[in-house]
Protein backbone atom coordinates (compact mmCIF):
# COMPACT_ATOMS: atom_id res chain seq x y z
CA UNK A 1 0.00 0.00 0.00
CA UNK A 2 1.25 3.47 -0.87
CA UNK A 3 2.29 5.53 2.14
CA UNK A 4 2.40 8.74 0.11
CA UNK A 5 -0.19 9.02 -2.60
CA UNK A 6 -0.82 12.24 -4.51
CA UNK A 7 -2.92 12.91 -7.57
CA UNK A 8 -2.95 16.06 -9.68
CA UNK A 9 -1.59 18.00 -6.71
CA UNK A 10 -1.43 21.72 -7.46
CA UNK A 11 -0.42 24.80 -5.54
CA UNK A 12 -0.93 28.29 -6.89
CA UNK A 13 0.40 31.30 -4.98
CA UNK A 14 -1.12 34.69 -5.62
CA UNK A 15 1.72 37.18 -5.36
CA UNK A 16 1.58 40.99 -5.52
CA UNK A 17 3.58 42.53 -8.32
CA UNK A 18 4.68 46.05 -9.17
CA UNK A 19 7.49 47.90 -10.91
CA UNK A 20 10.26 49.59 -8.94
CA UNK A 21 10.12 53.30 -8.14
CA UNK A 22 7.97 55.92 -6.46
CA UNK A 23 5.50 56.25 -9.32
CA UNK A 24 4.79 52.53 -9.26
CA UNK A 25 4.36 52.70 -5.47
CA UNK A 26 1.79 55.48 -5.82
CA UNK A 27 -0.04 53.59 -8.54
CA UNK A 28 -0.09 50.46 -6.37
CA UNK A 29 -1.97 52.42 -3.69
CA UNK A 30 -4.98 52.54 -5.96
CA UNK A 31 -4.58 49.55 -8.22
CA UNK A 32 -2.89 46.46 -6.94
CA UNK A 33 -1.66 43.92 -9.40
CA UNK A 34 -1.30 40.26 -8.61
CA UNK A 35 0.10 37.34 -10.48
CA UNK A 36 -0.72 33.67 -10.03
CA UNK A 37 2.38 31.51 -9.67
CA UNK A 38 1.88 27.77 -10.20
CA UNK A 39 4.50 26.44 -7.83
CA UNK A 40 3.25 22.87 -8.22
CA UNK A 41 1.32 21.93 -11.31
CA UNK A 42 -0.73 18.73 -11.28
CA UNK A 43 1.90 16.30 -10.06
CA UNK A 44 1.02 12.71 -9.23
CA UNK A 45 3.04 9.92 -7.67
CA UNK A 46 2.85 7.20 -5.06
CA UNK A 47 5.55 6.03 -2.66
CA UNK A 48 5.42 2.64 -0.99
CA UNK A 49 6.27 1.88 2.59
CA UNK A 50 10.01 1.79 3.24
CA UNK A 51 11.01 3.45 -0.05
CA UNK A 52 13.67 6.18 -0.13
CA UNK A 53 12.85 8.49 -3.01
CA UNK A 54 14.94 11.39 -4.27
CA UNK A 55 12.92 14.46 -5.18
CA UNK A 56 15.00 16.49 -7.58
CA UNK A 57 14.69 19.78 -9.34
CA UNK A 58 16.39 23.16 -9.67
CA UNK A 59 15.65 26.03 -7.30
CA UNK A 60 12.01 27.08 -7.59
CA UNK A 61 10.94 23.76 -9.15
CA UNK A 62 8.30 23.17 -6.48
CA UNK A 63 10.06 20.57 -4.34
CA UNK A 64 9.77 22.35 -0.99
CA UNK A 65 6.21 23.44 -1.73
CA UNK A 66 5.30 19.80 -2.37
CA UNK A 67 6.95 18.69 0.87
CA UNK A 68 5.08 21.42 2.75
CA UNK A 69 1.78 20.24 1.29
CA UNK A 70 2.60 16.65 2.21
CA UNK A 71 3.43 17.62 5.78
CA UNK A 72 0.26 19.69 6.21
CA UNK A 73 1.88 23.13 6.26
CA UNK A 74 0.26 24.29 3.03
CA UNK A 75 -3.23 23.73 1.69
CA UNK A 76 -3.20 22.49 -1.91
CA UNK A 77 -5.02 24.64 -4.45
CA UNK A 78 -6.24 21.51 -6.24
CA UNK A 79 -5.68 17.80 -6.38
CA UNK A 80 -5.47 15.19 -3.66
CA UNK A 81 -2.81 14.12 -1.24
CA UNK A 82 -2.77 11.28 1.26
CA UNK A 83 0.03 10.38 3.62
CA UNK A 84 -0.39 7.26 5.76
CA UNK A 85 -4.05 7.43 4.79
CA UNK A 86 -4.46 10.94 6.21
CA UNK A 87 -5.24 14.12 4.32
CA UNK A 88 -2.24 16.25 5.37
CA UNK A 89 -4.06 19.59 5.17
CA UNK A 90 -6.36 18.48 7.98
CA UNK A 91 -3.31 18.30 10.27
CA UNK A 92 -4.78 15.59 12.48
CA UNK A 93 -2.69 14.86 15.56
CA UNK A 94 -2.29 11.17 14.73
CA UNK A 95 -0.90 12.20 11.35
CA UNK A 96 1.53 14.78 12.74
CA UNK A 97 2.81 12.25 15.29
CA UNK A 98 3.91 9.93 12.48
CA UNK A 99 5.75 12.33 10.20
CA UNK A 100 8.63 14.76 10.34
CA UNK A 101 9.81 17.54 8.06
CA UNK A 102 13.49 18.38 8.35
CA UNK A 103 14.65 21.53 6.65
CA UNK A 104 18.38 21.87 6.27
CA UNK A 105 18.60 25.55 7.07
CA UNK A 106 16.02 25.80 9.83
CA UNK A 107 16.62 25.58 13.55
CA UNK A 108 13.79 24.06 15.56
CA UNK A 109 15.73 23.47 18.77
CA UNK A 110 15.87 25.75 21.83
CA UNK A 111 18.72 28.06 20.92
CA UNK A 112 19.99 28.77 24.43
CA UNK A 113 19.71 25.29 25.91
CA UNK A 114 21.50 21.99 25.36
CA UNK A 115 19.76 19.87 22.72
CA UNK A 116 18.86 17.31 25.38
CA UNK A 117 16.29 19.78 26.76
CA UNK A 118 14.74 20.22 23.33
CA UNK A 119 14.58 16.46 22.89
CA UNK A 120 12.73 16.19 26.20
CA UNK A 121 10.32 18.92 25.12
CA UNK A 122 9.65 16.99 21.92
CA UNK A 123 9.01 13.88 24.01
CA UNK A 124 6.30 15.78 25.89
CA UNK A 125 4.87 17.30 22.69
CA UNK A 126 4.69 13.94 20.91
CA UNK A 127 3.61 12.09 24.07
CA UNK A 128 6.33 9.48 23.81
CA UNK A 129 6.61 7.13 26.81
CA UNK A 130 9.71 8.05 28.82
CA UNK A 131 11.36 4.63 28.50
CA UNK A 132 10.78 4.47 24.74
CA UNK A 133 12.04 8.03 24.43
CA UNK A 134 15.27 7.35 26.34
CA UNK A 135 15.95 4.20 24.34
CA UNK A 136 15.37 5.82 20.95
CA UNK A 137 17.17 9.07 21.88
CA UNK A 138 20.26 7.15 22.98
CA UNK A 139 20.12 5.03 19.86
CA UNK A 140 19.92 8.09 17.59
CA UNK A 141 22.63 9.91 19.54
CA UNK A 142 24.89 6.91 19.12
CA UNK A 143 24.07 6.48 15.42
CA UNK A 144 24.97 10.09 14.67
CA UNK A 145 27.81 10.13 17.19
CA UNK A 146 26.63 13.32 18.89
CA UNK A 147 27.02 12.22 22.52
CA UNK A 148 29.35 15.09 23.33
CA UNK A 149 27.29 17.69 21.46
CA UNK A 150 23.86 17.24 23.03
CA UNK A 151 25.00 18.74 26.33
CA UNK A 152 26.21 22.01 24.81
CA UNK A 153 23.85 24.96 24.22
CA UNK A 154 22.67 24.77 20.62
CA UNK A 155 23.96 28.30 19.94
CA UNK A 156 27.51 27.03 20.56
CA UNK A 157 27.35 24.31 17.91
CA UNK A 158 28.72 24.62 14.38
CA UNK A 159 26.32 24.35 11.43
CA UNK A 160 27.11 20.69 10.85
CA UNK A 161 26.88 19.81 14.53
CA UNK A 162 23.59 21.64 14.81
CA UNK A 163 22.21 19.82 11.80
CA UNK A 164 23.03 16.47 13.35
CA UNK A 165 21.32 17.25 16.67
CA UNK A 166 18.47 18.85 14.72
CA UNK A 167 17.93 15.53 12.96
CA UNK A 168 17.93 13.64 16.26
CA UNK A 169 15.35 16.11 17.64
CA UNK A 170 13.14 15.56 14.59
CA UNK A 171 13.16 11.81 15.03
CA UNK A 172 12.73 11.21 18.77
CA UNK A 173 9.06 10.43 18.17
CA UNK A 174 10.11 7.76 15.64
CA UNK A 175 8.21 9.08 12.61
CA UNK A 176 7.23 6.62 9.91
CA UNK A 177 7.50 9.17 7.12
CA UNK A 178 10.47 11.52 6.74
CA UNK A 179 10.32 14.57 4.50
CA UNK A 180 13.91 15.75 4.27
CA UNK A 181 14.50 19.07 2.55
CA UNK A 182 18.20 19.55 1.83
CA UNK A 183 19.35 17.81 5.01
CA UNK A 184 23.04 18.12 4.08
CA UNK A 185 23.05 21.69 2.79
CA UNK A 186 26.16 23.63 3.72
CA UNK A 187 27.86 20.66 5.37
CA UNK A 188 31.35 19.39 4.65
CA UNK A 189 31.86 16.10 2.82
CA UNK A 190 32.49 14.05 5.97
CA UNK A 191 29.39 15.38 7.67
CA UNK A 192 27.29 14.79 4.53
CA UNK A 193 28.49 11.21 4.44
CA UNK A 194 27.67 10.69 8.11
CA UNK A 195 24.13 12.02 7.66
CA UNK A 196 23.61 9.92 4.55
CA UNK A 197 24.66 6.83 6.45
CA UNK A 198 22.34 7.74 9.26
CA UNK A 199 19.33 8.20 6.97
CA UNK A 200 20.03 4.83 5.33
CA UNK A 201 20.30 3.15 8.72
CA UNK A 202 17.12 4.79 10.04
CA UNK A 203 15.27 3.66 6.92
CA UNK A 204 16.58 0.10 7.31
CA UNK A 205 16.05 -0.17 11.06
CA UNK A 206 12.53 1.35 11.25
CA UNK A 207 11.33 0.69 7.69
CA UNK A 208 10.59 4.36 7.39
CA UNK A 209 9.52 5.98 4.15
CA UNK A 210 11.76 8.85 3.03
CA UNK A 211 11.22 11.60 0.49
CA UNK A 212 14.44 13.54 0.12
CA UNK A 213 15.36 16.69 -1.74
CA UNK A 214 19.01 17.52 -2.24
CA UNK A 215 21.20 19.41 -4.63
CA UNK A 216 24.04 17.03 -3.80
CA UNK A 217 23.86 14.12 -6.21
CA UNK A 218 26.03 12.10 -3.86
CA UNK A 219 23.10 12.12 -1.40
CA UNK A 220 20.74 10.86 -4.07
CA UNK A 221 23.11 8.23 -5.44
CA UNK A 222 23.86 6.89 -1.98
CA UNK A 223 20.28 6.73 -0.75
CA UNK A 224 17.74 6.60 -3.55
CA UNK A 225 17.05 3.91 -6.08
CA UNK A 226 14.10 5.87 -7.32
CA UNK A 227 13.99 9.56 -8.20
CA UNK A 228 11.24 11.97 -9.12
CA UNK A 229 12.40 14.98 -11.11
CA UNK A 230 10.26 18.09 -11.27
CA UNK A 231 10.74 21.38 -13.04
CA UNK A 232 8.41 24.39 -13.11
CA UNK A 233 6.08 22.41 -10.86
CA UNK A 234 5.67 19.53 -13.33
CA UNK A 235 6.96 15.97 -13.19
CA UNK A 236 9.67 15.30 -15.77
CA UNK A 237 10.71 11.85 -14.65
CA UNK A 238 9.62 9.24 -12.13
CA UNK A 239 11.58 6.02 -12.12
CA UNK A 240 14.76 4.20 -11.18
CA UNK A 241 17.81 6.41 -10.83
CA UNK A 242 19.66 4.05 -13.18
CA UNK A 243 17.10 4.69 -15.93
CA UNK A 244 17.47 8.45 -15.71
CA UNK A 245 20.72 8.38 -17.65
CA UNK A 246 19.48 6.08 -20.35
CA UNK A 247 16.30 8.11 -20.84
CA UNK A 248 17.77 11.60 -20.87
CA UNK A 249 21.43 11.26 -21.79
CA UNK A 250 21.85 10.39 -25.46
CA UNK A 251 25.52 9.56 -25.02
CA UNK A 252 27.98 7.38 -23.15
CA UNK A 253 31.56 8.02 -22.13
CA UNK A 254 34.32 5.63 -23.14
CA UNK A 255 37.55 5.81 -21.19
CA UNK A 256 40.40 4.10 -22.89
CA UNK A 257 44.04 3.50 -21.93
CA UNK A 258 46.33 3.12 -24.95
CA UNK A 259 49.79 1.70 -25.47
CA UNK A 260 50.33 4.65 -27.84
CA UNK A 261 49.07 7.53 -25.70
CA UNK A 262 49.65 10.06 -28.47
CA UNK A 263 47.17 8.49 -30.90
CA UNK A 264 44.45 10.85 -32.25
CA UNK A 265 41.02 9.45 -31.31
CA UNK A 266 38.89 12.37 -32.45
CA UNK A 267 37.45 10.33 -35.34
CA UNK A 268 35.82 7.98 -32.81
CA UNK A 269 33.97 10.68 -30.83
CA UNK A 270 34.35 13.93 -28.90
CA UNK A 271 37.54 13.91 -26.85
CA UNK A 272 36.56 15.13 -23.40
CA UNK A 273 39.84 14.61 -21.55
CA UNK A 274 43.36 13.43 -22.25
CA UNK A 275 45.71 12.50 -19.43
CA UNK A 276 49.00 10.77 -20.42
CA UNK A 277 47.90 7.52 -22.10
CA UNK A 278 44.25 7.77 -20.96
CA UNK A 279 41.60 9.38 -23.15
CA UNK A 280 37.94 10.04 -22.38
CA UNK A 281 35.55 10.08 -25.32
CA UNK A 282 31.91 11.01 -25.63
CA UNK A 283 29.97 9.00 -28.19
CA UNK A 284 26.33 8.74 -29.22
CA UNK A 285 24.61 6.04 -27.20
CA UNK A 286 23.59 4.15 -30.33
CA UNK A 287 27.18 4.17 -31.59
CA UNK A 288 28.81 3.04 -28.32
CA UNK A 289 29.21 -0.65 -29.20
CA UNK A 290 30.34 0.04 -32.79
CA UNK A 291 32.97 2.59 -31.61
CA UNK A 292 34.17 0.21 -28.91
CA UNK A 293 34.66 -2.54 -31.45
CA UNK A 294 36.56 -0.15 -33.74
CA UNK A 295 38.79 1.03 -30.90
CA UNK A 296 39.61 -2.53 -29.90
CA UNK A 297 40.40 -3.58 -33.47
CA UNK A 298 42.25 -0.45 -34.67
CA UNK A 299 44.15 0.67 -31.51
CA UNK A 300 46.43 -1.03 -29.05
CA UNK A 301 44.06 -0.87 -26.08
CA UNK A 302 45.35 -1.63 -22.58
CA UNK A 303 42.11 -0.90 -20.76
CA UNK A 304 38.62 0.27 -21.71
CA UNK A 305 35.50 1.21 -19.73
CA UNK A 306 32.08 2.37 -20.92
CA UNK A 307 30.03 4.47 -18.55
CA UNK A 308 26.79 6.40 -18.41
CA UNK A 309 27.45 10.08 -17.86
CA UNK A 310 27.65 11.33 -14.24
CA UNK A 311 24.24 11.89 -12.67
CA UNK A 312 24.95 15.64 -12.25
CA UNK A 313 25.38 15.93 -16.02
CA UNK A 314 22.19 13.95 -16.64
CA UNK A 315 20.17 16.12 -14.30
CA UNK A 316 21.58 19.19 -16.01
CA UNK A 317 20.46 17.73 -19.35
CA UNK A 318 16.99 17.03 -17.98
CA UNK A 319 16.56 20.60 -16.77
CA UNK A 320 18.05 22.03 -19.93
CA UNK A 321 15.69 19.92 -22.02
CA UNK A 322 12.71 21.06 -19.96
CA UNK A 323 13.68 24.68 -20.31
CA UNK A 324 13.80 24.50 -24.11
Interface ranges with other proteins (CB under 8 A): 13, 64, 68, 71-75, 89, 91, 93-94, 96-97, 99-101, 103, 105-106, 108, 110, 112-113, 117-118, 120-121, 123-127, 153
Q: Which is nearer to other proteins, 166 or 292 (CB)?
A: 166
Q: Which is nearer to other proteins, 185 or 257 (CB)?
A: 185
Supply the minimum distance, in Å, between the C-beta of residue 87 and other proteins.
13
Supply the minimum distance, in Å, between the C-beta of residue 188 and other proteins.
22
Supply the minimum distance, in Å, between the C-beta of residue 117 and other proteins.
6
Q: Which is nearer to other proteins, 113 or 301 (CB)?
A: 113
Supply the minimum distance, in Å, between the C-beta of residue 290 and other proteins.
51
The 3-state secondary structure of the chain reads CEEEEEEEEEEEEEEEECCCCHHHHHHHHHCCEEEEEEEEEEEEEEEECCCEEEEECCCCCCHHHHHHHHCCCCCCCEEEEEECCECHHHCCHHHHCCEEEEECCCCCCCCCCEHHHHHHHHHHHHCCCHHHHHHHHHHHHHHHCCCCCCCCEHHHCCHHHHHHHHHHHHHCCCCCEEEEECCCCCCCHHHHHHHHHHHHHHHHHHCCEEEEECCCHHHHHHHCCEEEEEECCEEEEEEEHHHHHHHHCCEEEEEEEECCCCCCCCCCCEEEEEECCEEEEEEEHHHHHHHHHHHHHHCCEEEEEEECCCHHHHHHHHHHHHHC
Q: Which is nearer to other proteins, 105 or 243 (CB)?
A: 105
Supply the minimum distance, in Å, between the C-beta of residue 80 and other proteins.
16
Q: Which is nearer to other proteins, 70 or 241 (CB)?
A: 70
Amino acid sequence: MAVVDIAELTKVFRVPEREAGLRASMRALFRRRHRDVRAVDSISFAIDSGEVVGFLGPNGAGKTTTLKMLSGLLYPTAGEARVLGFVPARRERDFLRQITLVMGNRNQLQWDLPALDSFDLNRAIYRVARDDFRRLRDELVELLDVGDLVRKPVRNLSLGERMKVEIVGSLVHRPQVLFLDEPTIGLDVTMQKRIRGFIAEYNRRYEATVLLTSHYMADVEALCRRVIVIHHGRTLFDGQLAQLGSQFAGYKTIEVALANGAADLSRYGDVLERDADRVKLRVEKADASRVTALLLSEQEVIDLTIEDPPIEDVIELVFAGAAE
